[in-house]
Structure 1
Amino acid sequence: MAAAVGSTEFIVAELVEKAISMAWKAHKTPEKHFILEKNRKGEPQQVFISFPASGSAKDWYSQKPFGELPIDLELFPSLKRIGHNEPAKLNEAFQARFQAILSKSSLETEVKDAMDKKRQIVFTGHSSGSPMAILATLRTLEKYPTTKSNGWVPPVCVTFGSPLIGNNIFSHATRRENWSNFFIHFVMRYDIVPRILLSPLSSFDQRFEPISQFFNPNHKSKSFMSESVGRSSVSSDFFSVVMSNAAKVTSHAASKLLGTTDSAIETIANFVPLSPYRPFGTYIFCTGNGKHVVVRNPDAVLQLLFFSAQLSTEAEVAQVGYRSLQEHRTKLQLNLGMENFVFLEQDQLENLPLIDDGSKDDISMACNDLGLSPRARLCLRAAAGLEQQRLINEKKLKEKIDSPEVEENLKKVEKYKQVMELKNICYYDAFKNQESSEDFEANVKRLQLAMLWDEIVEKLRGYELPDEFEGRPEWIEHATRFRRLVEPLDVANYYRHERQLEAGTYLGKKSGKESRPSRYRLTQRWFEHAERRKMEEDYSESCFWAEVEDLSHITINNVNGRVSGSFDKDVVNQTQERVAKLVHRIKVWIDNKVVDKDVLLEGSTLMNWWNALPSQYKNGLSIKSPVF
């Protein structure tokens, strides 16, 4: 028996075999939300939870064309693009079914019991049972973050013939969180289900409902099971429709991988909606001859889903159309010895032979077993090339951020802050007043540092950096140091030039455009996510000065909140709440040493506002004592 599947150390042969057994056992009890078995042998002890599939079309597509919607961030707060605060897209029908399982079953109770007892949970499923296993795993990873100190064992998800369930942000987030290796997806070469959601529901007309019944092994109709019917136009037409749509998606993706512009493909993309669904996790393609090809690169997996099911001739459509359904329905028989696994990791993908040169090495034979054409191999190499370029981009940025020049700029701003404090001036106010040559030099350093972080943000926007980038501790540390030190200068510069009069407040929006630069908004979210904060703060320790400026305008400059000659009660009440929140936050920030006490110097913008603030807004609060 194999000890492991490659570097995925927790996948042992016995575990996979048990997962297969459980996945098929769940089919026999479709009336249950899930089935559970405990294995008390071994260390750690294991709990297997398997979900049944559904043959109902409503459990696959909820709306046209593809049925995707933003993921429920209450359930899955990590499944988003952190910096841009963009949630992943998830198949609505799968999410709704999972939410029903959570509300109507004991799933969360069973998971808590297993986690509390330090047992390893193995979630598994076949067909549309697989998305339930995937979402249950992600929910567990969200609720029970595993660390060396808490002793929790991370859950494992093993699926068989799983459809795609989320978009590229879904894949991106799982890689950023280092969760991808916890998901193993076994796919038979011609199985149609992993490709189905690359097609819109509208492309099937009335064909999806009868086909979906074929996915349910308990369906009582035997006629459709017959080879004569299976080989009819029903299965071949269905296969052709799915692969036609898969071709559009993968061709568009390949043109980006290869850096080419195909006007026909771009025209299709502009006028014909393309599926948003993308692979994630580790895929194991079963060639049918006992070999298993392991791929982790999601761009490469997408190409393989198309090219590995390509046909040599038109005459094969009927035969492969039936086979694409039959392979999905047939229980997998896996050869789990290590000698039967071929790994297409980064190095192997980059050096993939473009043609079959007759070599008998494992990589060449695996490509032949999957029927990969020269075009397919070129696309796989391009997927690896894109990943390599992202790593190169990160390396170059790392060299810049670690350079003596950048470190010197940061230290000069820090020194500027210290010098101003020695002069009994908060550096925010010194920079806002711009009365010395030191202020000018600090401004030069601010602009130089901002340019570097604007470059980083731009590369993030274009997906030109690795998925793991936003979650790397070293980058969060760099970003937080920069933000806390430099953003107060940006705020001071904003109000020094009275830009709020034209563009609105620093923290607000005008005409849908945010004034606060993205280099600070994004990096604040990185920090908050790393701290596992559920909600983004409306302002942080690096830009609270903007809140001070705005409150000063409302409470003092704006005739103390008078409206039509009298105090507006709503304005006063809302302002009181904002003042109380700000005072509390400043105390916490100073106690935690993320804001220095120079903000409390007499004559600072903060203290000038506080001393002039009418008592009705203070509501018994004090900034220096007893609060501080």
Structure 2
Amino acid sequence: MIERRNLSEAIGMEPDLVTKVFSLAMEVQSKHDRPYLSRKHSSYSIFAFRGSGTIEDWFSGKSFGDTSIGLKEIFPFLKRIGNDQIALINGNFFQQFHNILEEFQFSDEVNRAVSEKRKIVFAGYSSGGTIAIFAAILFLQRNRIHPLCVTFGSPLVGDQIFGHALRRENWAQHFVHFVMRYDIIPRVLLAPLSSIKGELQTFPPCFDQSKLESNAISSFCEIMRSALSIASHTACSFMGCTNSLLETVTSFTELSPYRPFGTYVFCSEGRMFTIKNPDAILQLLLYSLQLSNGEAVADVAFRSFKDHLGYQTEFNANMGTKDVVDLEHLDLQLPLSSGGANSSEMKSIEMVIKELGLSTRAMLCLSAARESEQQKQRNQRWVEDNRKKIEDELRKLQEYRDTAEMHKIGYYDAFKLQAEPEDFEANVTRLELAGIWDEIIEMLKRNELPDGFECLEDWVELGTRFRRLMEPLDIANYYRHSKDKDTGAYLKSEEEKQPRPKRYRYTQRWLEHVKGKPAGYSESCFWAEVEDLRVQIHTSNQKENRDAAFEKVKDRVLKLEENVRQWVEEELLRGEVFFEKSTFVKWWRELPERHRMESRIASLMFMVGSG
């Protein structure tokens, strides 16, 4: 369905506020002695940032000026949780924002506005919008109240992980990006510096059509060629295309990492179109700027630059009367041909096609983007359907653990011995659970689940229960079959070479992220550390050699003992760890006597040593 709303319904901002925000965003462009301005309007405090016009301030170092350096320190949330992959951002825009934090009283001004219980709006025109984005993210990290971030003709600032992280935290809804249909600036960073350097020296270029140089037309074509490569590659990926040509193309064609996020408002012919699906936005950034029948490249190139200077006309006092069309639920299953339509729905779609200049191919790509998002929802329903199976299998392992404890043998040691039929049945359960969770992790790696999945409280809790109950069995199986002799210790410092399965690394990071815990090996890896230390210390039959080996790993032993004390207090380690015949007790009692007498857990071992 085509859904029409007024501007305040569409983006949660009154037209008068948008006009005030835009006016300040334009005013600050002339303030060369100050990178931002602040102003009060009604119950709001508006902070608008000045952009930079030189190409050197947009690109640096790499072809697209992207970097992850320094991001983790200021924006620790901007990453994928499971594999701890940090987002990429434009390094120059980030540095400009960092300079504002260091050289001006920006944070103090924002804090004063908050103390006055004012609503916060960050804004920017052109590259000033990228600074506003960083300011809003920093504010979201530090405050419980949510700001608004409004940009006008802003270039892209971060990669797919950047947008994913903001959607995962439910922050993307606070960002609104206004884009004139033909404005080239939101598309500029889709092209590498090498393709436009020396041709466009300043942004935005102030010229009329009579002064349009051929190199500007060439830059326009290069930007659109790069945008087409990215949009086509992305569309093929979420259409499920497996053509090896895609990989061949990316091997010699450098694709921009930048991707859109938040709510985009495309402005065209006095009408506005809103959309939130990032894949669909990427397609619209390309296809809404394609040539129409009879249009010359020079004409469209000219308009693409002039549109960046045309926001003033769009954002006037009458903007509240403009029709706002929500494209998020556009029924793209209707016939794509514009001929012979007689229904109001088809006429509405004809209007969208005409005003945004969308070809049949564009409509197909938009339809695929929408279908990709819907498939993520279906995948999550599949995952939810497996919840009962997971919980049933976990109950079986809990019963197995309880039975082992009744016989005064921990379920870790029982599973490692595999002496009883119950041990075999537990192994079957372990394999079934591993299969389900491995499929969930693979979906996450392929970006086939909604962005917010890893932060869902019930799945973080279930993943934590699964990890704490299951991982000791995987560790027991690993050392029972002496896999450490072939592939090394279960825990390694090299992330990609760790024998530890991703199903445990991912679920551990979910908990660390949601609870704000520091990264590190967890209580579910307790047995892996015990086993490796046992190998390191007790492989020699000669006491003097064992003492020397102990000294080499003494710091690790002390750290483990400190963790044991803490985990016992937090009830994360059960009494089975201290059973007389447990692997841990037998290993600890073979440590040097002097160390055992001075150990922080000596009293603990004495009290519970008998089980």
TM-score under structure 1 length normalisation:
0.89
Task: Give the distance between the partners of 2:265 and 2:214, measured in 1 at CA.
Answer: 30
Query: Does 2:105 align with 1:69?
Result: no
Structure 2 vs 1, CA of residues 4 and 188 (structure 1 numbering), >3 Å: closer, same or farther?
Answer: closer
Partners of 1:352 and 1:381 within 8 A in 2:
no
The one-character-per-residue Cα deviations of 1:491-547 (angstroms, maximum 9, x if unpaired) are 1111111111111110126896211011111111111111123x421x111111111
Partners of 1:184 and 1:282 within 8 A in 2:
yes
Which residue number corresponds to residue 29 of structure 1?
31
Deviation at 1:262, TM superposition (A): 5.9
Query: Does 2:462 align with 1:478?
Result: yes
Structure 2 vs 1, CA of residues 108 and 351 (structure 1 numbering), >3 Å: closer, same or farther?
Answer: farther
Partners of 2:10 and 2:326 within 8 A in 1:
no
Which residue number corresponds to residue 368 of structure 2?
382
Query: Does 2:249 align with 1:268?
Result: yes
The one-character-per-residue Cα deviations of 1:446-476 (angstroms, maximum 9, x if unpaired) are 1110010011111111112111211211221
Comparing 45-54 with 154-163, greater Cα deviation is found at 45-54
Matches within 5 A, 1:291-370: 291-313=271-293, 315-332=295-312, 333-334=314-315, 336-337=319-320, 340-345=323-328, 347-348=329-330, 350-351=332-333, 353-357=335-339, 358=341, 360-361=344-345, 362-370=348-356
Matches within 5 A, 1:589-600: 589-600=567-578
Partners of 1:51 and 1:125 within 8 A in 2:
yes
Deviation at 1:348, TM superposition (A): 2.1
Partners of 1:38 and 1:46 within 8 A in 2:
yes
Which residue number corresponds to residue 203 of structure 2?
212
User: Which of residues 484, 488, 494 in structure 2 aligns to 1:504?
Assistant: 488
Structure 2 vs 1, CA of residues 546 and 262 (structure 1 numbering), >3 Å: closer, same or farther?
Answer: closer
Which residue number corresponds to residue 158 of structure 1?
150
Task: Give the distance between the partners of 1:585 and 1:529, measured in 2 at CA.
Answer: 20
Which residue number corresponds to residue 81 of structure 1?
80
Structure 1: stretches of 5+ with no match in the other structure: 147-152, 215-223
Task: Give the distance between the partners of 1:313 and 1:232, measured in 2 at CA.
Answer: 23
TM-score under structure 2 length normalisation:
0.91
Which residue number corresponds to residue 245 of structure 1?
226
Matches within 5 A, 1:251-290: 251-260=232-241, 266-287=247-268, 289-290=269-270
The one-character-per-residue Cα deviations of 1:165-190 (angstroms, maximum 9, x if unpaired) are 11111111111111110110000000
Deviation at 1:590, TM superposition (A): 2.6
Give me the identity figure in percent: 42
Secondary structure of the residue aligned to 2:256 is: coil
Secondary structure of the residue aligned to 2:176 is: strand
Comparing 231-240 with 386-395, greater Cα deviation is found at 231-240
Structure 2 vs 1, CA of residues 542 and 29 (structure 1 numbering), >3 Å: closer, same or farther?
Answer: same
Deviation at 1:584, TM superposition (A): 2.4
Deviation at 1:617, TM superposition (A): 4.4
Which residue number corresponds to residue 396 of structure 2?
412
Task: Give the distance between the partners of 1:576 and 1:110, measured in 2 at CA.
Answer: 51
Task: Give the distance between the partners of 1:330 and 1:53, measured in 2 at CA.
Answer: 16
Pairwise CA RMSD = 2.5
The one-character-per-residue Cα deviations of 1:173-211 (angstroms, maximum 9, x if unpaired) are 1111111101100000000000001100101141121x4
Which residue number corresponds to residue 408 of structure 2?
424
Deviation at 1:302, TM superposition (A): 0.2
Deviation at 1:118, TM superposition (A): 4.1
Which residue number corresponds to residue 172 of structure 1?
164
Partners of 2:270 and 2:322 within 8 A in 1:
no
Structure 2 vs 1, CA of residues 619 and 306 (structure 1 numbering), >3 Å: closer, same or farther?
Answer: farther
Task: Give the distance between the partners of 1:183 and 1:350, measured in 2 at CA.
Answer: 26
Partners of 1:162 and 1:194 within 8 A in 2:
yes
Which residue number corresponds to residue 533 of structure 2?
551
Task: Give the distance between the partners of 1:308 and 1:395, measured in 2 at CA.
Answer: 34
User: Which of residues 19, 22, 40 in structure 1 aligns to 2:21?
Assistant: 19
Comparing 473-482 with 510-519, greater Cα deviation is found at 510-519
Task: Give the distance between the partners of 1:75 and 1:392, measured in 2 at CA.
Answer: 35
Task: Give the distance between the partners of 1:98 and 1:31, measured in 2 at CA.
Answer: 15
Task: Give the distance between the partners of 2:553 and 2:321, measured in 1 at CA.
Answer: 66
Secondary structure of the residue aligned to 2:45 is: strand
Deviation at 1:157, TM superposition (A): 0.6
Partners of 2:38 and 2:45 within 8 A in 1:
yes
Structure 2 vs 1, CA of residues 474 and 98 (structure 1 numbering), >3 Å: closer, same or farther?
Answer: same
Which residue number corresponds to residue 391 of structure 1?
377
Task: Give the distance between the partners of 1:202 and 1:118, measured in 2 at CA.
Answer: 47
Structure 2 vs 1, CA of residues 518 and 15 (structure 1 numbering), >3 Å: closer, same or farther?
Answer: same
Structure of greater relative contact order (alpha carbons < 8 Å, 6+ residues apart): 2
Q: 2:131 corresponds to which letter in structure 1?
A: M
Question: How many residues of Structure 1 are paired with residues of Structure 2 in the alignment?
Answer: 594
Structure 2: stretches of 5+ with no match in the other structure: none
Task: Give the distance between the partners of 2:330 and 2:597, measured in 1 at CA.
Answer: 67
Which residue number corresponds to residue 584 of structure 1?
562
Comparing 98-107 with 552-561, greater Cα deviation is found at 552-561
